[in-house]
Every structure is written in C-alpha cells, then in structure tokens.
Amino acid sequence: MPPVTTMSEIVDIDPHPHPLSSPQQRHGSLDTTDMEEKRPDPEPQDVFGDETFAEVKYKVLKWWQCGLLMVAETISLGVLSLPAAVAGLGLVPAIIILISLGLLASYTGYVIGQFKWRYPHVSSMADAGEILMGPLGRELLFGGQILFLVFLMASHILTFTVAMNTLTNHGTCSIVFGVVGLIVSLLISLPRTLEKMSWLSLVSFISIFSAVMVAMIAIGIQKPGMTIEAFTEPSLVTGFTAALNIALSYASHNTFFNMIAELKDPKDFPKALTTLQCIDISLYIVCGVVIYRFAGVDVESPALGSAGPLMAKVAYGVALPTILIAGVINGHIACKSIYTRVFAGTDRMHKRDRIAVGSWIGIAVFLWVVAWIIASAIPVFSTLLSLMTALFASWFSFGLPGAFWLYMNKTLWLSSPRKVALTLLNTFCVCLGILMCGLGVYSSGKAIHDDPGSRSFSCANNA
C-alpha cells in the first residue's frame, strides 16, 4: 500500500507551527525584515580592527609612551613663543591666562577621552565629526585636522630654518635650510606605528627642556636688570595674537583620538593626559615668567634668540632634536589619518608589501612638500602660530570638546546642579572657540599683512 501523502507535505506547512509565527513563516517564505529590525546593530569596529594575526600591529601603545608622545608634541613649539606672549600681555594677565587655559585644556582633553569611551570606534576627529554632524561633519573635521597638522609641520620647518640660520650665521639661503628640514623630517616620520615614535619623543622632551634651561640661565646672567611690566595696554591685534600663542602651547587635542586609538587600553588615557598637563603647565609658567623677567619687554620670539649670539647657538643646537621630532609626530599622524582613510577595512592596513609601504611613503612625501611650501610662504614665526591657533586649535582644543560633552549629555543638561554647572562650562568652551576663531583670524591676518619682514620664498636671514 503506497504511503499516504498528507496536506502538510503538499503545501510545505509546518505541522507544529510556533504559536507566534507569522503566516509567511508557516508557508515557508520566511520574511526576516522584522527580525533584522529588532536585532541590535553590531558595534562599529575601530579602523585597525582585529590585530591578532596582523603583520603590523598598531594597538600596542602603553600609557607612558602615549604621555611621552603628547608631551613632545605639545611642549616643543609653543614654549618658544611664551615669553614674547607674556611681554605682549603683561606679567599678571599672562600668568592668569597660562593657568586658566591650562586647566581648561586639561578638562577638554578628558572630555575627548570620555567621547572615545562612549564611542569606541572613534579613531580620529573625522569619526567624531560624523557622530556630531553626519557625513558633512566627517569631511569637515577630516579636512580641518589635516590642514592643522600640515600647518604645524610647516611651523617646525620654519623653526628649523631659524635655528640653522642662527647656528651658521646665515650660511646659505633660508630656502635651502627649509629643504634640508623637509628631507630629515620625512625620513624620521616613515615608521608606521606610534609605538616606534615614542622613543624619539623622550629625546625630544630632553632636548627642549635642556634648551629652555640653557636659555633661562644665559639670559638671567646676561640681562639681570631688564624692565618688565605687570600690566600693558596692547592693541587688539597685539593682545589677541599673544593670547593665541599661549592657547597654541596647549593645543594638541586634535591628535588625542589618534593616540587613544593606538593605546593597548584606552581607559589608560587619563594617566597620559595627567602626565602631559602637569609637565606643560609647570614648564610654561616657569619658562614664560623667568625668561620675560630677565629678557624684558624686548624678548624675542622664538625666545632662544634673546640668549645672546653665542648662547643662542648653543640653545638652538640643543633644541634641534625637538624642533624636528615634534614636527615629525604631527606629520606621522597626518599621514596615518590619510592612510587609514584610504585602506580602512582592507588587509592592506597591516601589510608590509610594496603597495602598503609605497603608499605610506608617497603620502608622507606629499604632505611634507606642502608643509615646506606653507613655511616658505608665511615666514613669520609668531603670526603663523596665531593664525593656526585661530583657524584650528580654537575648535579642536576648546570648541569641539564642549560640543562633544553637550552631545553626550543632551538629555541631561539641567538634570542636576552638577549637570547645570557642566553645561555652562561646556557652553563656555564652545563660545570661546567661536571667539578665538573669529578675532584670531582677523588679528593674525592683519599682523601678517603689516609685518615688513613677511617676504615669501625669500633667501633672507629669518633668525
């Protein structure tokens, strides 16, 4: 007798349907749309992904190595302009601004760490911009970060030409010294991981610390009785340019996401940030006040030029490593930002083949050439620093961290007295960023226009 065919076999019906199953499920045409909508989205991965079997591993940075990188990047260039900033503002206002901006920069740095912990996939300012403003924010902050880093690279090339002109008594065309600085910086920035750069950072900090000590001792011996002023009456351009130079000395926040992304444990970031802020606030106050106290109102910018011809050469010679290395750290992160943007999601990120290495070298060459062009086109040290601060550091170090906090706490602004206070503080950070950007662009642009020594692509001595 042939087997009996049941109706359920003919129409492919489950003879024991789940009581909650839909008609589509019971008839074998499973519609997974509702299930997919209910399933939580997977956590976005950071740009480096799983590095268990990678040839090149990025997420290996220890907190103290991160601290060294942050110290070397932050202290190297800005400290050279602080005594002149103190002279422009007067001793008392300058000390108040140094301490206030230092504490505020410490807080905004911690907010960046909080934002990274809330959104673990964020590895750069571009990623953070996408969370705040979508695709437009991503492109806007990516472009801004690259421009700021390239301007910082240009500042270090410019400082290198000043140092070489001082050491050699303007032994050759300043453009030649700029090309030498470009080539050396390019070669040092070729390693692909921040861990390999951290040891150079230690050399950089020792270098700038020694140079500042040499300059302070020499100036203290040579000029013990110079005139100083507790308060001054600067013009808008002079005063705001000086304040921007102080702000720049704390403005390395644009690289914090990149550095946290390469930490073994991102939760260790507060240790690195504390190391940075304790060192830079202390050194900035001592350097700015002591050199101004002895060099007086005519202190030069960079400050090493006030140490006298012989000691200026000694100080610049000692400072050469930090002049190069600190610029290299900015150059490395600029290259990494573009490199990861191009190869994110591919195994090329972790390869050592010709395409990976060649692409890295090509990006580095392009960025350093652009930096050299900028350094040659705007050969005025202090006004170049203030222009960079106005355009970029005002946002990356103050305005954007305030916006990050407001975004993370958008439903809690008035939930408690503590939240109200923090809401006001972060709103102040955003307003400060707007003010620094607007007035800073005006004052620094006017200073560049009015400076008689502002000659682009000139062989003249800029020491």
User: Could you read off the pLDDT of 219-262 as tens digits, one per residue?
Assistant: 888 876 676 777 777 777 778 778 877 887 888 899 999 999 98
Cα–Cα nearest to 104, from 429, 395, 404: 429
Q: Over 90: is that where the pLDDT of 317 sits?
A: no
| Reported confidence tier of residue 451, pLDDT bands at 50, 70, 90 | low
pLDDT at 163 (0 to 100): 83
Cα–Cα nearest to 124, from 273, 251, 262, 248: 262
pLDDT at 11 (0 to 100): 37
List 61's β-bridge partners, or say none: 263
Which position has the higher pLDDT, 376 or 106?
A: 106
205 neighbors 322 (Cβ within 8 angstroms): yes
pLDDT at 385 (0 to 100): 63
pLDDT at 212 (0 to 100): 85
CA atoms of 413 and 405, how far apart (whole Å): 10
Give the DSSP per-residue string, 265-322: SGGGHHHHHHHHHHHHHHHHHHHHHHHHHHHGGG--SSGGGGG-HHHHHHHHHHHHHH
Please give the structure tokens belonging to residue 251.
Answer: 């403005």
Question: Where do the domains of the chain lie, and which CATH numbers do they carry?
Answer: 53-450 (1.20.1740.10)
| Lowest-pLDDT choice from 24-33, 63-72, 229-238 | 24-33
Q: Which of 37-51, 67-81, 231-245, 395-409 has the highest mean pLDDT?
A: 395-409
**Residue % of the chain over a pLDDT of 70:** 83
Q: Which of 75-89, 105-119, 189-203, 321-335 has the highest mean pLDDT?
A: 105-119
Cα–Cα nearest to 77, from 440, 415, 386, 376: 386
Which position has the higher pLDDT, 54 or 287?
A: 287
Cα–Cα nearest to 288, from 306, 270, 272, 310: 306
Q: Over 70: is that where the pLDDT of 291 sits?
A: yes
Average pLDDT, the chain: 81
Report the sign of the C-alpha dihedral through residues 65, 70, 337, 190, in that order: negative
pLDDT in tens, 106-145: 999 999 999 999 999 899 999 999 999 999 999 999 998 9
138 neighbors 145 (Cβ within 8 angstroms): no
Contacts for 400 with CB less than 8 Å, ≥ 6 apart: 125, 128, 141, 433
| Reported confidence tier of residue 199, pLDDT bands at 50, 70, 90 | confident
Q: Over 50: is that where the pLDDT of 361 sits?
A: yes
* Helices and strands (DSSP H and E) totals, the chain: 17, 0
| Reported confidence tier of residue 173, pLDDT bands at 50, 70, 90 | confident
| Reported confidence tier of residue 313, pLDDT bands at 50, 70, 90 | confident
Phi-psi region at 12: left, alpha or beta (left = phi > 0; alpha = psi -120 to 50):
left
Quote the longest CA-to-CA distance of the chain: 121
Average the pLDDT over 284-304 and give the result. 83
Q: Over 50: is that where the pLDDT of 148 sits?
A: yes
Q: Which of 88-92, 322-326, 395-399 has the highest mean pLDDT?
A: 395-399
167 neighbors 313 (Cβ within 8 angstroms): yes
Average the pLDDT over 387-410 and give the result. 88
CA atoms of 221 and 216, how far apart (whole Å): 9
pTM beyond 0.85, yes or no: no
| Reported confidence tier of residue 37, pLDDT bands at 50, 70, 90 | very low
Contacts for 335 with CB less than 8 Å, ≥ 6 apart: 189, 360, 363, 364, 367
Number of Cβ within a 10 Å radius of residue 63: 20
Q: Over 80: is that where the pLDDT of 447 sits?
A: no
pLDDT at 1 (0 to 100): 46
pLDDT at 463 (0 to 100): 62
Which position has the higher pLDDT, 37 or 84?
A: 84
Average the pLDDT over 51-57 and give the result. 76
Average the pLDDT over 44-55 and give the result. 73
Which position has the higher pLDDT, 3 or 24?
A: 3
